[in-house]
Structure 1
Amino acid sequence: MNKELLVTGGAGFIGLNFVYYILNNTSYNITIIDSLTYASHPKEILKIQHNPRIRFFEGNIINNKDLQIVMDRGYKAIVHFAAESHVDRSIKNSENFIQTNIIGTYRLLQWLSEGYAEKMIHISTDEVYGTLKVDEEAFTERTPISPNNPYSATKASSDLLVRSYFETFKLPLIITRCSNNFGPFQNEEKFIPTIIHNAFHNKTIPVYGDGMQIRDWLFVEDHCRAISLILEKGQIGEVYNIGGGNEDTNLNIVRKILNIMGKSEKLIRYVKDRKGHDRRYAINSNKLQKKLGWKQIVPFDQGLKTTIEWYVKIFKEHSL
């Protein structure tokens, strides 16, 4: 059996957590390609590079010369995490999002079509579905794609490209769409790490608009468990939603974190709302649960405490 995986973006938040999950729970060998952007973790890569099951290559998936280096063997699967993902950055300048999320995915599809992997799992996001009203049913795999910001538009574009290559060329492709992830290694510009960082340093915490935007939160380890299950048992050509089942308002999440950290809600500052800010996301994961038997293991409150403890430890180490 082929025991080789190619993980794109394996030095980033979810990709790195997935690499650790695979190392700890399977016998796969892992080749990582990552361009080491601001959101990557080169120090973590240095820690695991000595592992004989790990190969790391610094490279960009939009560059075929970089991809050619890692395509020196056949892979059980390409697990495609590599993406630009911060909405605010996409609003300011979409160029990198278009290049990485669309062109980069196209490059991988080209290599897949040449037989360098048995299949590819394309990691996407619930944001491609757009927004929900408070009383609407959660997104299912049949919900029409309707992105509302440049980031989600580029992810939706890559999803459609992947779908077209399955339909036209019958390539072995699977798409996953997850709700908002949280956990160790997430970049500090993201929502939960920003709250933890600012609370730890007694800085004001910006809350967009009225703070009543609703998100569905998923602990990153549960997400990685789902991807691993899809890798083994997922049906080619399918889309699988991976939801947290933990809907809450942004304001309530801020308050929960401040309460756990023993900080005052006086740190909260309301700021002008983000352009095109989706009001609510919610993912229906019934298909994944019924077809493949996935279920969450980490309760939200436990995952949140684990996440806070991880960041606080990092902040304390940096202050020494």
Structure 2
Amino acid sequence: MILVTGGAGFIGANFVLDWLHDIGEPVVNLDKLTYAGNLESLASIASDSRHVFVRGDIGDSALLAELLARHKPRAIINFAAESHVDRSIHGPGEFMQTNVVGTFQLLEAVRSYWSDLPDAERSAFRFLHVSTDEVYGSLGPADLAFTENSRYEPNSPYSASKAASDHLVRAWHHTYGLPVLTCNCSNNYGPYQFPEKLIPLVIQNALQGKSLPVYGDGRQVRDWLYVGDHCGAIRRVLEAGRPGDTYNVGGSCEKPNIEIVQTVCGLLDELRPDAAGPHARLVTHVADRPGHDRRYAIDARKIERELGWRPAETFETGIRKTVQWYLDNQAWAANVTSGAYRDWIESNYGGRA
């Protein structure tokens, strides 16, 4: 049995689905079901006895203690986090509460549980914390990619809160001996991603003939990683990672945002042509995000060298799968884009000239 937190979110849901399909070990899935947590993403395993869903908060220490005592997981994978930079700018408080205080409460509950395990189970136990490349700050055009030894320089409330959680995880290992593992990943894309993020936002807006908002000149560079590859990396780190270590997980695929938008538009032109003309006609440059990091890039040689992991998907294969998935699953997308979501999109992009 493993315990997954945030397993109804984008990466967490993909991980749970892949885990049950590829590994088959039972999963307890704890998720608060905020706006980005969606049980429809897990509909295919709704009747699977290997999946136990619990609605709850990682900040609820009593619930955590009860779940750990009842299910006795051999490992915990922590996906639970507020994760959208724009939302963190508008309202940083929730990010501090979930990403910092919540991680602290989770670590304390896990430490208490782990300390009481029999020696063999205690030795085999792992706590894997999923984080982001944004904790490292921004790179210049000629700077080397982030390594596991890069200095932390977070520039948004979101990345600052994730940096704080990383530091807590590290401290609980060095102070208490908790056998932790940390993965810092690059930009994920793929099925079940909430449509506030760039790729699904472009797909959904383009299908509805709406503008495709691009911040500034659109030349912000990100390292793009297909979510299925990220899930495979997490499984490998859990299996063979060295306790206390950090592993950067990237797609070795640096691309500017405007190129991503143009690629998605080109695929939509091919797969779902619009009689009004090419979808790229809808691209609209809007005022840039405050403090927008210019470039992220991940050096993933450590995980390849030590654990033998590398991404299976190229960007070309991954983005085609992603666009096709959204075309085939418009009901899912429509159900998650509630009135509250539409209000959010208007508040974030509507006032940007």
TM-score computed with the length of structure 2 as normaliser = 0.87
Give 1:115 shift: 2.9
Higher helix share: 2
Give the Cα–Cα distance (whole angstroms) in 1 for the partners of residues 102 and 43 of structure 2.
25
Structure 1 segment 112-131 matched on structure 2, within 5 A: 112-116=110-114, 118-131=125-138
The structure 1 residue matched to 2:35, chosen from 18, 34, 38, is 38
The structure 2 residue matched to 1:219, chosen from 226, 249, 253, is 226
- 1:169 — aligned with what? 176
Cα offsets for 1:64-105 (capped at 9, x unmatched): 133233222321110000000010000011111111101111
Deviates more, 1:261-270 or 1:83-92: 261-270
Give 1:295 shift: 1.1
Partner of 2:113, secondary structure, is: coil
- 1:282 — aligned with what? 297
Is 1:51 aligned to 2:66, yes or no?
no
Q: Name the aligned partner's letter for residue 48 of structure 1.
A: I
- 2:166 — aligned with what? 159
Give the Cα–Cα distance (whole angstroms) in 2 for the partners of residues 100 and 58 of structure 1.
15
Partner of 1:69, secondary structure, is: helix
What RMSD over aligned residues (CA atoms) do the two structures have, in Å?
1.4
Give the Cα–Cα distance (whole angstroms) in 1 for the partners of residues 99 and 25 of structure 2.
26
Partner of 1:17, secondary structure, is: helix
From the superposition, tell whether residues 77 and 318 of structure 1 become closer, same or farther in structure 2 (CA, over 3 Å).
Answer: closer
Cα offsets for 1:17-65 (capped at 9, x unmatched): 0001111111311000001111112123354132121111000111113
Deviates more, 1:213-222 or 1:308-317: 308-317
- 2:210 — aligned with what? 203
Q: Contact 1:33 / 1:70 at 8 angstroms: preserved in 2?
A: no
Is 1:296 aligned to 2:311, yes or no?
yes
Q: Name the aligned partner's letter for residue 107 of structure 2.
A: L
Q: Contact 1:131 / 1:279 at 8 angstroms: preserved in 2?
A: yes
Give the Cα–Cα distance (whole angstroms) in 1 for the partners of residues 166 and 110 of structure 2.
15
Give 1:191 shift: 0.8
Give the Cα–Cα distance (whole angstroms) in 1 for the partners of residues 149 and 247 of structure 2.
10
Structure 1 segment 67-216 matched on structure 2, within 5 A: 67-71=64-68, 72-116=70-114, 118-216=125-223
Unaligned runs of 5+ in 2: 115-121, 270-277, 335-353
Is 1:7 aligned to 2:4, yes or no?
yes
The structure 2 residue matched to 1:273, chosen from 248, 272, 288, is 288
Structure 1 segment 13-32 matched on structure 2, within 5 A: 13-32=10-29
Q: Percent identity between the aligned chains?
A: 44
Unaligned runs of 5+ in 1: none
Q: Name the aligned partner's letter for residue 217 of structure 1.
A: W
Q: Contact 2:77 / 2:128 at 8 angstroms: preserved in 1?
A: yes
- 2:259 — aligned with what? 252
Deviates more, 1:131-140 or 1:258-267: 258-267
Give the Cα–Cα distance (whole angstroms) in 2 for the partners of residues 12 and 70 of structure 1.
20
Is 1:310 aligned to 2:307, yes or no?
no
Q: Contact 2:154 / 2:160 at 8 angstroms: preserved in 1?
A: yes
* Number of aligned positions between the proteins: 316
Cα offsets for 1:135-154 (capped at 9, x unmatched): 00000000001000000000
Q: Contact 1:206 / 1:268 at 8 angstroms: preserved in 2?
A: yes
